[in-house]
Each structure stands twice: as C-alpha cells, then as structure tokens.
Structure 1
Amino acid sequence: MKNLITILILFCCLISFSFQDPDSLAQKPTSENIGKLLAKAENSINTMEFDKAQEELNTSLQLARSIDHKRFIALASSILARMYQVRHEFDKGITQLERAIAIQRDINDKEGLAYSYILYGKILYSKQEYQRALKYLDLAQEYYKKESNKEQLGIIDLNKAIVYLALGELERANALLDNADVYLENSKNTYEISRLHYYRSRAFIAEGDYKKALEAAKGALNIAQSGQFIGMRMYSYELLSQIEESRGNPKDALAYLKEANQIRQNVFSMNKEALAKDSYEKFGMDALKSTVDELTLQNAEQERTLKVNKLTTILSVALITILSLLTLSLYKNNNLRARANELLQKKNSELVLAKENAEKASLAKAQFLSTITHELRTPLYAVTGLTHLLLEESPTESQKEHLNSLKFSGEYLLSLINNILDLNKLEANKVEIVESKFNLEQRISDVMIALKNSADEKKTKIHFDFDQSIPKNLIGDPLKISQILINLIGNSIKFTENGDIWISVKKTRHEGKDISLAFEIKDNGEGIGKEKQKAIFENFTQGSTQINRKFGGTGLGLSIVKNLLSLLGSEIELESELGKGSRFFFELKFTAPEGEIAEEKPATPKIDESKLTNDIMENKRILVVEDNKINQMITRKILEKNKVICDVADNGSIAVEKVKNNDFDLILMDIHMPGISGIEATIQIRKFDSEIPIIALTAVTLDESLDEFYLNGFNDIIPKPYKTEEFFHKINKHLAARATTV
C-alpha cells in the first residue's frame, strides 16, 4: 500500500511538471517582467485568488533577488502584507511591512514608502488603532501632495473617511468622501471606486438615509461585479441585506444575505485549495526524492510488475470517471448556457421596448415644453408691456414698488421660459450649428450693452480686453456665441456686487484660415466651493441653497453653456475659490479668410450707439403689424408715449397695402399671422421699397435660423416679450441710420 501511494505521488508530480506554463518557466528577470508580475499579484488579491497571488509574488521575489533589485524586493513584501491584511492575518502583514519599510528607507524609495504607509494605516485601522492609522496616512499624503498624484490622494482621503466613520465623526467623514469623489473622478482604479461607493453607503446609513444608502450600495456592487472583486461583492451584499432589513423588507434582506454567504463559502473553498497546494509545494519534492530512493531498492521484478498493473488499472478507472464527470459537467453547462441565452434575449427585448417607450416619452416632453413655452410668451408680453406703461404714468410710491416687483417677476419668468425652451431643444438634439460671417468684437460689445443695466444695478464694472491681432471678420455661429457669453457674463454679474468683471479674448493659434481663440470671464464675486464646482453645470443646480435664496435663478444658465460648448466641440473650465471669485474659460475654433486682418468698411454709416436717445423717435411714423389686439394696444401706447405717430395693420396683406400708400420711417413686423406671414409680407414690401427698416417683432428660439430673417429683407429682430431698453435701443439705432442716409 505504501509503495502504491508513493507511485501516485510520483505520477502526479510528473503530470504537474508537464502541464506547467512554458511562459512562467521562461520568465526573464527584467524590471518590466517583475513589475507586471507584481501588478498581477495585486489584481489577484482584489479578486481573492490568494493561491495565484502567492505564486506570482514568489516568482517576482525570486526574479528580483536574482538581479538584486531591492525596490521590487521591498514592494513584493508590501503586496504580500496587503494579502495578509485582506485575509485578516494582521500580525503577519505588519511583519512584512516592517521588512519592506526598512529596505525602502535604506534605498530612499519615497514612492514605495508612501505605498507601505497607506497599507500600514489600513492594517492599524483593522486592529482598531485609529490614531496611529491616521498618522501613517498623513505621512503618505505628504508625499503624494508633492507629486500631485490625485488618484493616491483620493485613496488616502477614502481611508481617512473610513477611520472617521469608525470614530463616529460623520461630518468629517463625509467631507473626506467628497474629496475622494473629486480626486477619483477620472481614475481607472475601479476597486477603490467600489470601496468609495460602499463607504458612502455606510455614511448614509449612519445618517438614517436608507434610500441613498441603497443606491450607493448597489453602485458598489455593480462595480465589484464588473471588476470581479469577490470580497467587495460579498461585503456589498451584506450591506444591502442590512439596508433592506432596516427598511422593513425581510424578503430582499434574506436574498442578499444568501448571496453573501454563497460567496463566503466559495472563498472558503478556494482558500482550502490554496492551503492544500501550499502543503504540496512544500513537501512534494521531498516525497518525490524518497519515492525514487525506495523504488531503486525494490529487487523483486514480479512484485513491481504486479503493482504497476494495479496502478494502471486504478488510473484507468480514475481517468474514465473524470471523463464521465467532465462530460456531465459540459452537458449541464450547455443547458445552463441555453437558459441564460434565452433569458438574455428576453431581457434584451424588454430593454428595447423600454428604450422605445423612453424615447416616446422624451419626444412628448420636448413637444409639450416647446408648445407651452411659446404659448406663455403672448400673455407674458401683455404683463411686461402693461407694467412698463403703468410705471410711465406717475404711480404713487406704493404702486411703484408693486409695479417694480411685477416687472422683476415678469422678467424672471421670461428668463426661465427661455432657458427651459433652450435646454429642451439642446437635449432633444434639435440645435444645429449655423455658420455665418460676423464681427466678434462687435458681437461681444452688443452683449455688454445688453447687460450694462444689470451691472450698473450691482455697481459692478465690466472690463473688456480684446486681442487686436484677431481678424475682424470670422466665420462661426454668432447666435450661440452670444448666448454662451450672455449666460457666463450674466452669471458673474449676479454673483458680483461692488466688484469687477474682466472679459478677455486672446488668439492662441492662427494657421491659414484656421484660428483658435481663448475666452475668459473672471470676477471677484462670491466664488464657488471646490465640492460644488462639478455640480453647477448640471440642470437646476446652484452653488448652495443659501446662494439660491440670496441671488435667485434657476441654475439652467451654466448647463446651457456646457451643452452649447459641447455642440461647438469645446468644453467649459472653471477655477474658483469661495469668497475670492471665479474664472470661467474655454477655447473655440473659427475660420477666417487668409490675410483678412483689417476691418471691412461698413455698408452703412457708423452710429455711436452710446449716444442714442428716445428723442429721435419724435414725430416718426412707425407701422405696427400685429394680429393680437392686446399686443397692438401695448406696442402702440409704448411708442406713442415717446411721441411716435403710430399706425396698425392686423395682418400681412393690410401691411403691404399701407406701405404702398403711405410713408413710414420704420415697420415692426410680427411673423405668425393669419393670411400671409410676416416673412412673406416683408418679401413683397422689398419689391418696391428696399430702404425702409423692417424689424421682426416675434418669439425667436435657440434652434431657429436668424439667416432666414436677414435673407428675406429684415434689418433686425426684437424677441418678445422684450425689455423696453432693448426695444427702444434697436428702434433708435435704425431710425438714426436711416436719417444719415436720407
């Protein structure tokens, strides 16, 4: 019997040797190969494949010693300590770490020391030595701050947060979790991101917010499953079981607990196999040697032949048994795979249906928002117009206060409607880039004029620095650039009182027709905290609840900016510090004709718009083309208050006849009217009068093309509802231009 056992051991050893990986035998002792082996070992630890990790660490240690690479020798000890930490063999882990740290200090390996310090902090936390754990994490943090290593700084903040959670300092733990979230935003270290979600869930549990805790725990589980992190999967299932039990869902809690226990059993089985393999590797060669020695002492050929025959019979039976089990296993696996494929097809069909329903719902939402926001403009025009008229009629002080409040509310509602409509168009992918030739410096100046009153109310100065080497004529989308600047400058004005705003446009590259410009909007206003800087570009988001109450707003402006810049192939960047102001910057590409640097002479005389007053409107004849009676009355009264001789046409056909038979100085033309539209009426008027200024008085949305208006004979556009300052400014500008040409 003893001889049979020794033969079996010899046979197994030979089989094991014959099936060794040829790549591992031919492994060369180079720094690259050792580094790859150590990285594989770390990954094996994450997936709890300890036997595989041990083999990779042994091989890497042998290779490192063969070339006396002390840094990798120390690193192998650190990674081995990490395996002991995961297996809760803390004293063994500390022994390995102290060995690694001694070498790393001797060779001044600061990076290796920082890695070891983080691991030392983890082990001390596991031993509930929290203050010592924080000291080692601080040592590691000093090094990675000097190196500006965001990923490692995020891992350190995560581990500090775990310590403070254990100490019951929830507020401090949450702050560190927020920092870790920022630092690990672009990290590919999915294991640490899974841990971040897991401990975020633990923090929510401590706060009693089980809904957020459930969401964070599921996030940890999803990442752990995709990365095959067995330990994190087990811990996530246990945490989900705890959450569901606290929420009063015992059935779900039991299901999650079963999943956790199944993983625990698998890990236990895997560890048993690892121990068996360790024992075999330790004593296998000794057994082999003793077996050979014993076999050489056998002299009876007949007895040896008999034993070999018996062994052959046993191995044959074992081989047949193994093949039978393998066939059965393959059959079961095929059945399971077929069921899984069937279930997957069913789920795919459900997902396709859900996707189609979601797209229909999104389309219905977009159509609803587009319709309702347009319909709101007509009554809102009446509100803002009538408020302006009442303010002009010498109200009492108490009435004036109420009317100013009404005016502010109307303007706020208009801004909200415009922002919702613009965002709706962007999200529905209905916005297209419309390129045309324009003067960028003049476009920015127009934006500043439009926002001047808002800045004056805040006692804020706007400074404009425009690089004069930029060509005067550029080809791009002027409407979207205006909207980006209006939102960014308007945002700075809102949060800057008694301060300054600096607008800068610089040329960064100019090759042939291609030119790149850097835009910067900087202020010394309220500023934004680091933890909120990522969120403010999301829909309906502001810096904080206090800021929302103090300054108002919907939180849509910066979201629109982000989406518009994405459409133009750029992205918004932000630098800010709470209480010290903010700096928004981005870069855009334009096309400019080669060599076109000097400004082209304008086709019409230059008007000094800053000196325009309403006096120019006195005794001027203006035709208002509008089918809505309330809008007719409001526009007419606003004009007549400034001594304008006003006439009204109910539709486009009447407007064409009146222009043929009367002399007008300017026409305000609505677009959507019964009969012929405002565009068709303008085309007919231009056939016999090409000089009279025609201004479109209509609701213009972000996705509508302004080129259509200008190409069909309009001189300008006033979106309604409008601010009276903008209304008068555009009318006065065109009346003044007409006066210079007559």
Structure 2
Amino acid sequence: MKKLFFLLTFFSLFTFSQSKKNHLDSINYFLELANYSYEEKYNSKDAIKYAQKAIEFSKATKNNEKLYDSYYFLGSLHLENNNYNDAIINLIKCSNYYEINKISSSKVAKINYTLGTLYLEKRKFSIAKMYFNKAYSIYNQTNSSEAFPLLELQKGLTLKASNKLDEAIDVFKDIAENNKDMESSKIEAVFQLSKIYYLKKDYKKALTYSKKALDLVENNSVGISKKKILNNLILISEKLEDYKLSNAYLKQYLTLNEIKNNSSITNTEFLINKKEHDNQLEIVEKLEKEKNDQLKSIRFSRLISIMSIVLIAILSLLSFSLYKNNKIRTFTYKLLQDKNKELTEQKEKAEFASKARSEFLSTVSHELRTPLNAINGITYLLLQEKPKKSQLNYLKSLEFSGNYLLSFINDILEINRLESNNVHVEKIKFNMVELAKNINQSFGGFISKNNITFKLDLNIKGNENLIGDPTKLSQILINLINNSIKFTKNGNVTLRITTIAEKNDHVTLQFVVEDNGIGIPEDKIENIFDSFSQGSVEINRTYGGTGLGLSIVKKIIEILGSEIHLESKVNEGTKFYFNLNFNKSDIKTISSIEVSQIVSHDNLKNKTVLLVEDNKINQMITKKMVENKGMICTIIDNGEDSITTMQKEKFDIVLMDVHLPGINGTEATAEIRKFDTTTPIIALTAISLNENREMLLSFGMNDVVTKPFAPEHFYNVISSYFPS
C-alpha cells in the first residue's frame, strides 16, 4: 500500500513538473513566433497575437519575469505601429515592475526613455521629464556610455515639443557630429533633424537628413526602424513633388511588408519544428480542456437539472403572459403608427409653412428696396437743392419715413437670415474697450435727444484684446442699448462688462444693459423675445419700432452659444444680461466697429463712371448723385452692352446693378474680368436672403453698396478707389 502511495505521489510531481516545463516552453515558443512574425514576415498583426498568447501563459504560470518581457515586446510592437496609447500602457507596466523590484539594466533605461518620448508627443512635459530622469539615473547606475547622449537627446526632444525648433536643431546637430561611438543616438538625432526641417517646410534639408538616417540604419542595423524613415522619405518626396523618388521609396516600404517566399532551408526547418511543437501544444491543451469540462459537468449536473425544472415552469408562465400581451401590443402598435403618420404630416406642413413665410418675407423685403431707393434718393437730392422752408418740413418727414421703412426691411431680412441658419461666426481679433467706446459714441445724438445719463462700466481685468465676432457682439449691444434709451427718457442707462471666469487662453465676460425706464409687465416678459412683439399696442404707437430687435438679439446670442436673461419691473426699469466666451489675444487690435468719419470727395471730380442699371428712376437718381460730385456718367441698361462698352472705352469706375435683364450683373462682371482686371467694379444691389457680400465679391467685384444706399457711405466707397 505504501509502495502504491509512493508511486502515485511521484507520478503527480512528475506530471506537475512536466506541465510547468511545458508552460515555460510555451511562453518562449510564442515569443519566438512573435519575433519571427515581425522580423522575418513583417506581419505586425500576427506578432501582436503571439505576444498576447505569451502574456496569457505567463499569467497562468505566475512567471513574472517572462510576463514583463512579453509586455515589453508587445509595447515595442505597438510603438512601431504608432499605437502610442497601447504602447504607453504596456511599457508603464514594465517600468513599474522593474522599479518596485529594483531591477536596473539598459533595457529598463530604454523603457523609461521611450515613455519620456511618448509623453513628449502628448505634450505632457512634467511626466516626460520624470521618465527621462529615471532613464538617465539607471544609465548612470549601470555606468553606461549612453547616459550623456541620452541626456542631450532628451534636451533636444523637449525643445522640439516646446516648438523651440532652432534651439533643438543645434542640440541634434551636436549629437550627430560628436557621438561617433553611439550610433543609435546619432541616428535618432539625424532623424529628428529631418522631422524638424519638415515642420519648418524646408523639405530639401528634411530629405537630406532622412537619407542620411536611412544610410546609417542600413549600415549599422541599430536605432529607429527602417519603415519609419522610409515613411518620412515618402512624405517629403511628395511635398517636393518628386513623385519618381516618392515611388522608389514606396517600393522599398512595400518590399519590407512582403512575405519572403524564397526562405532559406534554415527558415523552412524552423517552421516545421514550430508546427510540430504547435501540434503537441494543441493536443495537451485539448486534453486539459476535456478534463476540465468533465469536472465542470459532474460538479454542476444536479444544479443544472434543478434550474431546468425551474426554467420550464417560468417559461410556461411567460408564454401564457406573452400570448395575452401580444394582442394588446398589436393594437397599441397600430395606434402608434397612425399617430406617427399624423405627426409626420403636421411636421411637413409646419416646415412648408415656415419656408413659405421666409421666402415671402424675403421676396417682399427685396422688392420694396427698389422703390424705397427712389424715395430716399429723390428726397436726398431735393434736400441738397436748398428747398423752401415750407417744403423742408415735408422733405424731412419723408426722409424720416424712408429711413424708418428701411430699418424695418433690414430687420425682416436679418430675422430671415438668422432663421435660415445661413450665419457664419467669425473668429477675429478685436479690442473690447475700443468696441464699447465706439458704441457709446455712436449713440451720442440719441442720448442727448432723450436726456439720458449713459454710464459705461468696464471691469474686465486686463482682458481687452480678444478673439471673437465683434460685428455680432456690436449688433447685440446696439439693439439692447437702443431699446433702453428709447424706453427711458430723462433717466439712466448703463452698459456693464465684467470678467466672471478666466482659464489659460479663455475668458468669460458678462454683459449687462440696465435702465430705469418704463419696464415690462410680468405677463409680457415670457413673449418679449418673439418677433413683432412690443408688449402692447399702446407702446408701439407711443414709442414706435418694429418689435424685431429683441428677437434678433436672442437668435444671435444663441448662435454664439449662450442665452439672454431678463429682469424687469413696471416703472422701475429693465435689466438684460448674458455671458459670452472668448479666446485671448496677445496682439493689441482696434475694434472693427469704428465711428464713421466725414471724408472729402474732391478726388471724384472729372472721374468717368459707367452706370449699369435697368431701372429708369434709379438711373436718374444715381446719375444725379455722381454728377453732383463732378463725375462724368455714362448709362447702360443691360449686361451685354456693358461688356461691349468696356471693351471699347476706358472708365475710371463701374457701378454695376446685380439684377439686370438678360445676363445679370455678376455674370457681366465675370466676363469683364477676362479682359479687364484693374477697373474697380462696385455692386449695387437690393441684397436678399440668398445673396451675401462674399458671393458677390467672388465674381470679381471690388465692393458692394446696398440699396437704398446712404449717400455719404455711397460717396465714401467710390472715393476709396481714388488717391486723394
């Protein structure tokens, strides 16, 4: 009996030792397969798969040494394939393990150095510095000659990541020239020089250094991979438009990825041995799996039987419940389909109605501009001819009515444009203080007329120079301040701008427009931002206005990514406030919103102008306006004749109506630009929802004047094309 026990014990120990040995062989086997797949077959996918197999076997046998060798190999594979995040995860596991176990070697130093370079790529400088210091410390402990070149490489890489390219060039050149015994450092330095010159767009120098790095790798077989250098050479050659050279490097790159069909006898024997070993491992794994399956089957057979009975009972109850619920669900589904169909039809009708409304308002607004141009233009001309006192009042009233109607039409167009989502948010530099002061100055006359005390309170803590959309911001503030002044006669109006948050290159400002005017009734506050809403008919009759200003403000603020808030009490005043985010700007700039200045127009005398306009009234008005400044005007009423006339005669400037019979003004301008690229062409247009300044300028026009145009602005635009 004792002999039998001894034999069983010996057999168990022998089996355990054989199993442990098999697992160790399996780890080495999969690591060899991974290395072979990558080095000989250039198959990264298979290499990663075998490395992961090695990790699984290392964990199963708790072989930490092989486990972290496998992690290191897998991290290196991910690094070669530019999978930086996966590379970092695997290399950090290795670094932590070796640090905890106080293992120092050139491999450990290389792991920490590689982590430093990866974190430099992510611009996490403090973490990169930590790993570089670890690598340098280990090289010093092991008395490695790589310590000094490594420190210099770290310095160069840090300068490059900090965009100090010229300083980085000096460091890498010094490494390349003075480290003759350290070929890996020299190759890395030469390759980094190529990358820096590529960033500086000096592609010829980048090509020279990449070629040098390729030669060094081929002669020494150390340092960075040949694939990475070839990839860089392909990109540089394409930038230099040397596609023949690019194609040559591409062929080399593809050759590296081809499986070598004509393998040597040694490789063939190696594959045969690997296959036999693989088959043996598969048999062992299969037997172990079958054994485990049998144990699990015996262990859980009774539990499965009990659970089967319970499941059958539950399924029977569920089947009965589902049968009853199926009829209810079918009825509900049909009802839901009918409701969804009704909702879809209502949605389509609402969208159609919204589109029809938008198109109608846009068309009406556009068509009103042409006769309004005649009204405003004739009024201006009559006022210039020194009318009688009895006529002056009539003309002033006519001028006021024309301007009021123009403001109303502009508001309608602005609402339509905002609702069409055809709005571009600019990102330009401007000065907040200058913008606020210019807005304040532009309300001078209105403030005086209404006897207003206007206060500008700026508390922006040095954040004057910003990047944003000053035009839209001015539009918001002008509408809000105009509203406050209009409803606050003999009172106080305040514009307050305050910094409420600041982080790195971003700042959040709060804008407050506050008055002590008539206020808004509580029951009207909810709808005050709706189009054509002014609180009541009495307010509209007393104070005037279109009721579109606040609606425009709300939509613009939403486009800028914020929302407006309102606090108001009747006879106590109103407060509007909102927050906007801006990027900071280090360069001092002047706001694009400037107070218009009176410009002399003496430089317009005796200048020849070609007026292309089909409307007789507009012809008469525009001709009279330019002749009042001493210009000589020739009129053409269609686009075809304007092209012919420009081919025969020379004019100092062309005023081109956009909407003409036959070919329109944009097409005529495009044709003229084929033979005349110098004569200024100014577009005259009753601009509509589907037109914009950028579109008109793209046809070759120099500037755009919108009908009905303000005379002073009209003269300023023309005068800007002639030296004083």
TM-score, length-scaled by structure 1: 0.46
Q: TM-score if structure 2 supplies the norm length?
A: 0.47
